[in-house]
Structure 1
Amino acid sequence: MEFSFVDYVVILGYLLGVAWLGIRIAGRQASTSDYFLGGHDLPWWAVLFSVVATETSTLTFISVPAVAYGGNLTFLQITFGYIVGRIFVSKVFLPAYFKGNLTTAYQFLKQRFGSAMRNAASTTFMITRLLADGVRLFATAIPLAIIMRLGGAFTGWSDFEVYLLAIGVISAITLVYTLIGGIKAVVWMDVMQMVVYIGGAIFAGVIMLVDLPDGLSGAMSMAADADKLHLFDFGFDLVLSEFLARPYTFFTALIGGAVFSVASHGTDQLIVQRLLTTRNVRDGQRALVWSGVVVALQFGLFLFIGLLLYAFYDAQSAQQLGLATTDEIFAKFIVEELPVGFSGLIVASLFAAAMSSLSSSLNSLASSTTFDLYKPYFGENNTKAEDLRMSRLITIVWALILTGSAFFFAFLQLQEGERPAVVELGLGIASYTYGGLLGAFLLGRLSTGPDKTDAMIGFFTGLVSLLFMVEGPIHSLLPGEPLAIAWPLYTVVGSLVVVLVGLLCHRIRKQ
């Protein structure tokens, strides 16, 4: 079965509808507070769904089912850590943000350590988002390109041209409503788009259940026989080096997931900005903690779909199905098995997941640039209208930069020879820099002694030290068998180094 004309009409109608609805919902903005913080008047449940949608990329939709298809359910262990980490952020970080009436997460560092520390953290955030979101935006085009080819479209196009088209369309449509509507448009469209992609996933699951000869019980029996219902892996049979290098043993996933969540939801402007749009600290806490529960349920849904796919395709390997990897299996089902029109709806769901992530990145990058770097040095005497106009201009600039970054990663990925693992690269970039950011925040929040010098030394020591524990160019030059740690531990180790070095530096300098 190939994509029909109806499928393409559904996709086009959805994209145009998103742009129009986003602009209508947002209304008018009179200041940067309206544009970036929604006037602090957004309901907590809408912010909850926006946080979840922001965390969900197209790869979540496509790749998480493939995790269960090719493995088991141990990936779900990391979501337990996500919930624990969010509870910590809601109790320790959010009250400080609301008490200080802050517009970005990094203004707390200015109050505690001065402008230099805020600028270092804000710049680190921007570089991280530029690289990680450039990777994410390119990676978004991978499943879309697969579906386009499986559906018989764009057969005369090169892979690079298909990727450029997908990236360009996503960026252009997202920019329209983000630029005009600000954070209100971003949050409310995230809510709508989450309903679309979750609804699409549930619909695909129902179609599979209807078509399976033995129904749900047969699928679960088949999964159990293949040990795919295995959820907990404590890794007690591993030696220490293997234990630290495996990402989804229980304690690594729990501790690493918790610390990663503290960093991503307590120090990353991408998420903190959403929480600051709520009416008070209590609403922000409710949105944050419950988002962890919803994320766990969402991952559970996509893993469950992977188990259904395993039964639907009778445990065949990707090669037996004529596919390059298991990542293409859900895409194959979408194109070949769904009724006319519904394939287009699922692809629209993929665009929804991509746009919700990109719109959040654009708005958070623009807010951090405006409040942390532009306004303190160049716009102190601006009127509200001038600040708003500059904020929109900065949003356009970041859209162009992120799109260019995604084009660059597309070019790299499609070169002959060994290709970079872009998905792992994106995760690694975020995990790597989160350690430094979290360490600086913990140093300022939990200790009153260290000053800006201690914080800066600790911050950059934490970033540099990870180079020797992450597999890469420096790691490969170390003698013997250097220690490599799993990506969920990057943030744990990085933040500990920052805090310990900052405290030690303070004690030495006091003497």
Structure 2
Amino acid sequence: MKNLDWAVLVFVLLFIVVYGIYKSRKIKTSDSFLGGKTNPWWMVGLSIMATQASAITFLSTPGQAFHDGLGFVQFYFGLPIAMVILCVWVLPKFFKMNVLTAYEYLEKRFGLSTRILTAILFLIQRGLAAGITIFAPAIILSTILGWNLMLTNIVIGTLVTIYTLVGGTEAVSQTQKQQMIVIFIGMFLAFFLILENLPLDLNDALLYSGAMGKINPVSFEFDVNNRYNIWSAFLGGTFLFLSYFGTDQSQVQRYLTGKSLKEARLGLLFNGLFKIPMQFFILFIGVMVFVFFQFEKTPLNFNPLSENLKTNAQYQKFNTEFDQVHLDKKEKIAEWKEGHSETVMAELKVLQAKEVTIRADVKKLINEKAPEIESNDKDYVFIYYILNYLPTGIVGLLIAVILSAAMSSTSSELNALATTTVVDIYKRNFAPDISEKKYLNASRLFTLMWGMIAIFFAVNASLFENLIQAVNIIGSLFYGTILGVFAIAFLFPKIGGKATMWSILIVEPIIILLYFLEVKEVIKLEFLWLNPIGCLLMIASASLLQPMFGKEKA
């Protein structure tokens, strides 16, 4: 990056941190730190979106579209349904009881044991996710930009922890407003610059990408092995979003900051209505990047570490074939552009299939010769385009977009982890009657603790595999069970606390077992289906166990 890019990047990030600290400087109570009810609906909506929109949204999503088209947008089709259900049935209960965490409600319904156990499930999965939301962008940026990976993790984690530690929920809400402004400006600039640099006009770009199978937002094929289709979206996706927005404290805390039930509902509905167009827009950017790269030579694999194999004879052979396919495609596209000939398009499809095959063969070669290198390069496509084809200054802004998204998600997670730890564990079990100042100090201490844990996990995350795509998978391992607890609480008044608590201990190991059986290829089951399976197993198990405990509640 050039000096101007560095200046833009540093200015944007420092401004966000300083602004968050300044706006939350007068916080004196733990209630304000953990979630005072002061925000209008639009701030609630932006905060919800910023929490969900991690750095991976802006790194991976365009790369997903580059390879597979618009089909990923189906993942969000269940979101509006989930928002309406939560607004009608869940939010009124939370506001009526004036809770700070979702798990406070569970004690009044089931007893203390179920509250603590469910809170611990949340702390485990969100604690892991916090480290991943730091590590995922850090590993990509460090690889592309040549930054030290450990230092990148520490810088991101430290910046987030500082303003979350000082300002709590108020700082998170205030900084997320600024972060979303930066994100929107950056992504719109990227979009218009892509269109400006395309050798084709927009109509031809749409016709070409459509013919290549990239304009394919909906698949009606029912297949549990297909991760993204209309059925997995409306079934698995709805359950996932119900659990994420209805039971995950990182999101619950966002809308509980609304001034009133009406403001919280409007914020949720705003997110439900705006999220799909936003994701479609980001995916569409990826499709336009695909069209752009029909005219520009790309690497065989976008992960720059794959260049370590450039002396390999097989790699060189693939590179020669790839270059020839690229030249042939450019000639055929110019010919197609003149008359939109279907015959020429058929030839282009054959060439595109050859390119896809070569890329797949290169991935196999990387896995065989250098398994330590990540061969799945979807997360590297967009950042490669940014660094190599956008003007100086815009590069720094878009890197700031990626880091801002990482900070917004992580700050929400740290604040939610601290809130749950203080309210559901520390205050409820160990210090029910200490002063307000001590609660505030405890809140900040737990924020620091979770920040250090997240940084530690991020720094050591290279010991694990496939973390870049793991956030939703980790969530799905726990969300179904947690959603089942709340579904029982809201819909099955005759089921008590003991049956529910024992069902958690039975169902959660089953869900984890199903996932590992899928990883080992013993069964075929995409992770989205773990959400409805976990929820329905909880309901079934608790219903069967309840007669053993009679009408007694824990």
Q: Which residue of 2 aligns with 1:239?
A: none
Q: Which residue of 2 aligns with 1:346?
A: 398
Is 1:131 the equivalent of 2:176? no
Q: Which residue of 2 aligns with 1:423?
A: 468
Q: Quote the Cα distance in structure 2 between the aligned partners of 1:339 and 1:507.
A: 68
Is 1:185 the equivalent of 2:225? no
Question: Structure 1 residue 319: deviation in Å?
Answer: 4.1
Q: Quote the Cα distance in structure 1 between the aligned partners of 2:461 and 2:399.
A: 22
Question: Structure 1 residue 195: deviation in Å?
Answer: 1.3
Q: Which residue of 1 aligns with 2:213?
A: 227
Q: Quote the Cα distance in structure 2 between the aligned partners of 1:145 and 1:20.
A: 25
Q: Which residue of 2 aligns with 1:364?
A: 416
Question: Structure 1 residue 176: deviation in Å?
Answer: 1.6
Report the residue type matching 1:172 in the other structure.
T
Is 1:405 the equivalent of 2:457? yes
Report the residue type matching 1:351 in the other structure.
L
Q: Which residue of 2 aligns with 1:311?
A: 291
Equivalent in 449, 472, 478 of residue 433 of structure 1: 478
Is 1:10 the equivalent of 2:8? yes
Q: Which residue of 1 aligns with 2:327?
A: none
* 1:80-119 alignment, distance < 5 Å: 80-119=77-116
Is 1:373 the equivalent of 2:371? no
* 1:45-56 alignment, distance < 5 Å: 45-56=42-53
Do the aligned partners of residues 192 and 423 (structure 1) sit closer, same or farther apart at CA in structure 2, a change above 3 Å counting? same
Q: Is the 8 A contact 2:70 2:216 kept in 1?
A: yes
Question: Structure 1 residue 378: deviation in Å?
Answer: 2.3
Equivalent in 179, 185, 188 of residue 199 of structure 1: 185
After superposition, give the CA deviation of every residue in 1:196-235 in whole Å (9 maximum; x if it has no partner): 1121111011111111122211221110110111121111
Q: Which residue of 2 aligns with 1:281?
A: 261
Q: Which residue of 1 aligns with 2:234?
A: 254
Do the aligned partners of residues 345 and 28 (structure 1) sit closer, same or farther apart at CA in structure 2, a change above 3 Å counting? same
SS, match of residue 229 in structure 1: coil
Q: Is the 8 A contact 2:34 2:168 kept in 1?
A: yes
Q: Is the 8 A contact 1:65 1:305 kept in 2?
A: yes
Equivalent in 509, 519, 522 of residue 464 of structure 1: 509
Question: Structure 1 residue 482: deviation in Å?
Answer: 4.6
**What is the TM-score of this pair, normalised by structure 2?**
0.83
Report the residue type matching 1:72 in the other structure.
G
After superposition, give the CA deviation of every residue in 1:117-144 in whole Å (9 maximum; x if it has no partner): 0110111111111112222221121232
After superposition, give the CA deviation of every residue in 1:263-298 in whole Å (9 maximum; x if it has no partner): 000011110011111111121111112212222122
Is 1:506 the equivalent of 2:546? yes
Q: Which residue of 2 aligns with 1:43?
A: 40
Mean Cα deviation higher: 314-323 or 382-391: 314-323
Q: Quote the Cα distance in structure 2 between the aligned partners of 1:298 and 1:147.
A: 26
Report the residue type matching 2:19 in the other structure.
L
Question: Structure 1 residue 367: deviation in Å?
Answer: 0.5
Q: Which residue of 2 aligns with 1:157?
A: none
Q: Which residue of 1 aligns with 2:71?
A: 74
Q: Quote the Cα distance in structure 1 between the aligned partners of 2:5 and 2:297.
A: 28
Q: Is the 8 A contact 2:17 2:175 kept in 1?
A: no
Question: Structure 1 residue 427: deviation in Å?
Answer: 2.0
Question: Structure 1 residue 194: deviation in Å?
Answer: 1.0
Q: Quote the Cα distance in structure 2 between the aligned partners of 1:204 and 1:125.
A: 36
Q: Is the 8 A contact 2:199 2:292 kept in 1?
A: no
After superposition, give the CA deviation of every residue in 1:161-216 in whole Å (9 maximum; x if it has no partner): x2212111111111121111121110121111011112111101111111112221
Q: Is the 8 A contact 2:154 2:459 kept in 1?
A: no
Question: Structure 1 residue 460: deviation in Å?
Answer: 1.9
Q: Is the 8 A contact 1:144 1:350 kept in 2?
A: no
Q: Quote the Cα distance in structure 1 between the aligned partners of 2:276 and 2:140.
A: 23
Do the aligned partners of residues 395 and 468 (structure 1) sit closer, same or farther apart at CA in structure 2, a change above 3 Å counting? closer
Equivalent in 299, 307, 313 of residue 279 of structure 2: 299
Q: Quote the Cα distance in structure 2 between the aligned partners of 1:437 and 1:322.
A: 38
Q: Is the 8 A contact 2:153 2:455 kept in 1?
A: yes
Aligned identity (percent) is 29
Equivalent in 526, 533, 536 of residue 493 of structure 1: 533
Question: Structure 1 residue 82: deviation in Å?
Answer: 1.3
Report the residue type matching 2:502 in the other structure.
I
SS, match of residue 532 in structure 2: helix
Q: Which residue of 2 aligns with 1:416?
A: none
Q: Is the 8 A contact 1:79 1:292 kept in 2?
A: no
Q: Which structure has the bigger radius of gyration?
A: 2
SS, match of residue 340 in structure 1: coil
Do the aligned partners of residues 178 and 364 (structure 1) sit closer, same or farther apart at CA in structure 2, a change above 3 Å counting? same
Q: Quote the Cα distance in structure 2 between the aligned partners of 1:357 and 1:47.
A: 14
Please give the root-mean-square deviation of Cα atoms over the aligned residues, in Å. Answer: 1.8
Q: Quote the Cα distance in structure 2 between the aligned partners of 1:340 and 1:406.
A: 30
Q: Quote the Cα distance in structure 2 between the aligned partners of 1:434 and 1:322.
A: 33
Q: Quote the Cα distance in structure 2 between the aligned partners of 1:327 and 1:399.
A: 25
Is 1:141 the equivalent of 2:138? yes
SS, match of residue 339 in structure 1: coil
Structure 1: gaps (5+ residues): 155-161, 237-242, 414-419
Q: Quote the Cα distance in structure 2 between the aligned partners of 1:54 and 1:24.
A: 21
After superposition, give the CA deviation of every residue in 1:46-66 in whole Å (9 maximum; x if it has no partner): 010111111111111011011
Q: Is the 8 A contact 1:171 1:399 kept in 2?
A: yes
SS, match of residue 78 in structure 2: helix
Do the aligned partners of residues 321 and 455 (structure 1) sit closer, same or farther apart at CA in structure 2, a change above 3 Å counting? closer
Q: Quote the Cα distance in structure 2 between the aligned partners of 1:282 and 1:109.
A: 23
Q: Quote the Cα distance in structure 2 between the aligned partners of 1:377 and 1:456.
A: 18
SS, match of residue 232 in structure 1: coil
Is 1:167 the equivalent of 2:212? no
Question: Structure 1 residue 303: deviation in Å?
Answer: 0.5
Q: Quote the Cα distance in structure 1 between the aligned partners of 2:430 and 2:378.
A: 51
SS, match of residue 467 in structure 1: helix
**What is the TM-score of this pair, normalised by structure 1?**
0.90
Report the residue type matching 2:526 in the other structure.
A
Do the aligned partners of residues 217 and 244 (structure 1) sit closer, same or farther apart at CA in structure 2, a change above 3 Å counting? same
Question: Structure 1 residue 510: deviation in Å?
Answer: 3.5
Q: Quote the Cα distance in structure 1 between the aligned partners of 2:410 and 2:78.
A: 25
Q: Quote the Cα distance in structure 2 between the aligned partners of 1:136 and 1:295.
A: 19
Q: Quote the Cα distance in structure 1 between the aligned partners of 2:286 and 2:130.
A: 26
Question: Structure 1 residue 422: deviation in Å?
Answer: 1.2
Structure 2: gaps (5+ residues): 307-376
Equivalent in 21, 26, 38 of residue 23 of structure 1: 21
State the number of aligned residues. Answer: 479
Report the residue type matching 2:288 in the other structure.
L
Q: Quote the Cα distance in structure 2 between the aligned partners of 1:510 and 1:392.
A: 43
Q: Which residue of 1 aligns with 2:316?
A: none
Q: Quote the Cα distance in structure 1 between the aligned partners of 2:218 and 2:93.
A: 36
Q: Quote the Cα distance in structure 1 between the aligned partners of 2:548 and 2:123.
A: 32
Q: Is the 8 A contact 1:197 1:353 kept in 2?
A: yes
